[in-house]
Chain A
Amino acid sequence: MSSSITARGISISFGGRTVLNGIDLDIQSGEIFGLLGPSGAGKTTLIKILTGQLEQDSGTAVINGTDSRRLSGEERRRFGITMDNFGIYERLSCYENLKVIAGIYGVGKAEIYAALEKVGLADAAKTPAGRLSKGMTVRLKLARAFMSDPDILFLDEPTSGLDPVSAGEIRGMILAEKERGKTVFLTTHTMTEAEKLCGSIALLNEGKIVEYGAPEEICRRYDHQRMLKIHLTDGNEIALPHNRNSADKIAELIGSGRAETIHTTEPDLETVFMEITGKELSA
């Protein structure tokens, strides 16, 4: 598979503060890539650089074979972006919001309705965008990104602040786009989202990538974090490290009949991130 997005040594500083420091990425065509990090880690800044909204101080970013600093109009059309700070026209209806961008891209009425249908907003086509709920607003922004049938989707925290049902529906839409062969660059601070959706992820902390790979691979690297959880007959639960030292204690619990169930727990991305940075991912 070819790389859709390649970054080499991307660095940028604002007012003497380094926001990104030597970022290297290789995102394959047709995969969902997740960039995880706490708020302020530099996720949005990286999207801005990759999409040509911001110029890096050093390093190169190549999107579909073109330097992000030299993207032409036609090349920009090949990616769809939703960012939290991308506004909508609140007085215009959902249809009219899409019509503005459709006019610029030369996209027809049929595609506008198809995009609204895809995100489940067909019934709200005439509703002013200002009256939409947060979840519906995200859907409208996604419809705007999907409308020109782009090759790459940059989705900046698309499920942030949504209720679990809406977030699940948005994840379904993202997976459907992957099924259609689209490359998705997703930023999130929700590890479960990354585990469910992403083929590969990078953990970003204070402008640096601290881990990179498939989620399960990364978790496997931190196998020493594996624990044994023993549910006791008195209703309590104890956790022991998954090693030989715990054997005697387990034997004692089983022998005394106090152990009801024993489970192994794999380290998740949250645990890994905590171990590397000492911080919570969702902070």
Chain B
Amino acid sequence: MKNIAVIFGKQLSDTIRNKTILIQFLMFPVLVIIMENAVKIEDMPEHFFAKLFAVMFVGMAPLTCMSAIISEEKEKNTLRVLLMSNVKPGEYLIGTGAYVFVMCAVGMAVFAAVGGYGGMELVRFIAVMSAGIILSELTGAVIGLFSRNQMTATSISVPIMMVIAFLPMLSMFNDTIKSVARVTYSQQISELISDIRNSPASAESIAVIAVNFALAVILFITAYRKKGLE
């Protein structure tokens, strides 16, 4: 637990000064405040931007941050120093994952406030967003484990992130894309957030998210066994 706290604190001090990472945490929360207040179009669904950007945020920030942090530590050999100093790989991954989650939770709070959620809706919103953040973190960690350096991590994470983050938006305009997007957790998260006021979570959404989660865990274990943290 002590080492997890040290890793959490280190990531906080380090990446808070890393503009590339910081922008990932801030971009959509700032954008949603601006867009919700600046753009008012007739017949636009209520809190359209809050719902849209929340899904993009979930698809982008945790994924890119996890992969960037892990790959940078591998590239610069700071991870080797931590592992030689008795930090277990699991402690490192939990500490880093917890840090990314907390930073994303701050963004989530902004979306909740802008979206005007309260009571059970807020509980559902937090649950849905948290599931998405964890799934994206796992995906990001897999990319980080497979990448030797930041450049490789970026070249892998950008297309994956684009698919996860933008598919729900594109599916609004095209039914074929929508039918493909249904198998992704981001599409289900988008649908759950859209319907958060009207109905409980659909069985399909829960099933797709569960399958995505299982796949991410299997991928993560495979990547870890194959590559470790070295």
Chain A residues proximal to chain B, CB less than 8 Å:
51, 53, 73, 76-77, 81, 85-92, 96, 100-101, 103-106, 144
Contacts and interface: CB of A to CB of B under 8 A. Distances in A.
A281 to B, nearest CB: 27
Given A86-B77, A87-B77, A89-B78, A81 B84 contact: yes
User: Which secondary structure dominates chain B's binding surface?
Assistant: helix
B18 interface: yes
B37 interface: no
B13 A86 contact: no
B81 interface: yes
B179 interface: no
15 contacts: A51-B84, A85-B77, A86-B81, A87-B73, A87-B81, A90-B76, A91-B14, A92-B10, A100-B82, A101-B81, A103-B6, A103-B9, A103-B10, A104-B6, A104-B86
Nearest to A93: B13
Pick from A85, A92, A104, A144 the residue with the most CB of B within 10 Å. Answer: A104
Q: How big is chain B's contact interface, by range?
A: 20 to 34
Contacts of B73: 87
B10 A89 contact: yes
Contacts of A144: 81
Given A51-B84, A53-B84, A81-B84, A88 B78 contact: yes
Interface in B180-212: none
Interface in B73-114: 73, 76-78, 80-82, 84-87
Contacts of B13: 92, 96
Contact of B85 (A88, A89, A101): A101
A104 B14 contact: no
A104 B76 contact: no
B130 interface: no
A143 to B, nearest CB: 13
Given A85-B77, A103-B9, A76 B84 contact: yes
Interface in B5-53: 5-6, 9-10, 13-14, 17-18
Closest 3 A/B residue pairs (Cβ):
A87-B77, A103-B6, A87-B76
A95 B154 CA distance: 30
A89 B16 CA distance: 13
B70 to A, nearest CB: 14
B225 interface: no
B226 interface: no
A87 B80 contact: yes
B152 interface: no
A96 B13 CA distance: 8
Contacts of B78: 87-89
A196 to B, nearest CB: 28
A105 B17 contact: no
A105 B6 CA distance: 10
Contacts of B2: 103-104, 106
Contacts of A85: 77, 80
Contacts of B82: 100, 104
B3 interface: yes
Given A76-B85, A76-B86, A103-B6, 15 more contacts: A53-B80, A73-B86, A85-B77, A85-B80, A86-B80, A86-B81, A87-B78, A87-B80, A89-B10, A92-B10, A101-B81, A103-B5, A104-B3, A105-B85, A106-B2
Contacts of B85: 76, 101, 104-105
Contacts of A88: 76, 78
Pick from A53, A77, A86, A87 the residue with the most CB of B within 10 Å. Answer: A87
Contacts of B3: 104
B80 A91 contact: no
B89 to A, nearest CB: 14
Contacts of B18: 91
A16 to B, nearest CB: 21
B87 to A, nearest CB: 6
Given A77-B86, A81-B84, A104-B85, A89 B77 contact: no
A163 B17 CA distance: 31
A106 B3 CA distance: 10
Contacts of B81: 86-87, 101, 144
